Amino acid sequence: MGASLAFEAALDRYARQNYILLNYHVHIPQPDPMVNPSTLERQKFYGVRSSPSYFVDGDSDGGGGSADMAKSIYERKVEPAIEKHLTAAPEAAIKLRATHSGSTVKVKASVSNVKSKSDKLRLQIALVEDTVRYNGENGNRFHEMVVRSLAVAPAQAQGFALRPGKGGSFEYTFDVAKAAADAKAHLEDYETNTRKGAYTFRKKKHEIAAGNLSVVAFVQNEATRKILQAVYVKVPGGKAGT
């Protein structure tokens, strides 16, 4: 809980254009009702085997602790890491727009001024719920910037591949109702097959609240995990399906 509180505290300390938090829930150390297929794929990408695990601009770290350790974690790990990376110039530019209609969120993103010549660059687009209220095993009742879905390119891989040193324009439509249904299906499969009926969630948190959505886009070098640039936009209000 200490690490969660420390990273969430930075949301109040830093402007959103300077610090963007993404919270990927996984079934570690206990089953988690906010897990979905997208967060499981990111768990594989980062090779996460313990929780909490966190990455700042691709640099990994870990270690949690109780709530009374949050101040120490923030001062020793979170703030220094953010301040360090704020001094580095972005290596790409991203323009991002999101619109909400019914149960869909339509996203348009354009990438330019890409400095890296790596052939492992990818634009990721995440649909995020700003705050989810749930009293977790660690006592944390409010979970910030919960990733609900990631854009999947036509080739069925998360995100969009970029050519070395090149940008591009991309569009993606999130079906919010489908994202919620996919999360629910995963949680039910986890109960039935992964845990063989020996575990039942006291409450499944697959539903996605209307008017509480944001979109984050970031360019990442998948070879080094380094983030070249990231941007955040709040999705205009509307009614999303659940």
Regions of the chain where pLDDT drops below 70: 137-139, 238-242
Task: Give the pLDDT score at 100.
Answer: 94
pTM over 0.75: yes
Rg (CA), the chain: 18
Per domain, the residue ranges of the chain are 2-234
Task: Give the pLDDT score at 61.
Answer: 79
In CATH, the number for domain 2-234 is 2.60.40.10
Task: Give the pLDDT score at 240.
Answer: 39
Q: Distances in Å between the alpha carbon of 37 and those of 41, 97, 163?
A: 6, 24, 27
